[in-house]
Amino acid sequence: MAPPAAKPPGNPPPAGNPTATPHTATVANVPVDTRHWIAGARVTSATHAPTATFTDHSPIDGAPLAEIARGTAAEARAAVAA
């Protein structure tokens, strides 16, 4: 069975998926939050620039899987302090 097609970055979630958010990717039919996990909470990147995310690729075939939050020094400091 082929893996599900990756959603193009920047597109809104499908209308038929009420639990999807701009910070969610579906991997192997499991919704995964793509934000940082710091001190027991989901955190978006400190910057909202176009470089605030990066494309995560499948190690199997290199296909793009999701846009993941790119950490900055602010997130690194918060994670270390947690």
Q: Which amino acid is at 23?
A: H
Per DSSP bridges, beta strands 30-33 and 36-38 are unpaired
**Where are the domains positioned within the chain?**
33-81
Tens digits of pLDDT across the chain (82 residues): 555 555 555 544 444 343 445 778 887 888 888 888 899 988 887 766 666 888 889 899 998 888 888 888 888 898 999 9
Q: Report the candidate in 38, 39, 36, 17 with the shortest Cα–Cα distance to residue 26.
A: 17
> How far apart are alpha carbons 70 and 79 in whole angstroms?
14
pTM: 0.55
**Can you give the pLDDT at residue 80?**
94
**Can you give the pLDDT at residue 50?**
61
> How far apart are alpha carbons 78 and 39 in whole angstroms?
8
**Can you give the pLDDT at residue 81?**
94
